[in-house]
Amino acid sequence: MGMPVRIESHLYELARSEAAVEKRTIAGQIEYWAMVGRAALDNPDLPVTFVAESLASMAEPREQATPFIPRTRKQ
């Protein structure tokens, strides 16, 4: 169950345009921004792009994930 929240119209318009690009609802876009922001604050030494890509990777279905293949070491 969602809770109504007041936000500035400028932020709403930004979320609306970004949500359309990302195929999310406006509420989903704002929730995504909040999740990335929270994770970035919890991990201040990591770049925000790394945090966002890591969250996207964790949300990816396992069967669509690219398997990890370690590099071979030169000896």
CA distance 2 to 65: 31
Segment 2-6 mean pLDDT:
86
In a domain, 1, yes or no: no
CA distance 54 to 24: 18
pTM > 0.95: no
Q: What pLDDT is attached to residue 75? A: 57
In a domain, 8, yes or no: no
CA angle 2, 41, 7 (to 5 degrees): 40
Total number of domains in the chain: 1
In a domain, 17, yes or no: no
In a domain, 67, yes or no: no
Question: What average pLDDT does the structure give for the chain?
Answer: 89
- Domain extent at residue 31: 26-60
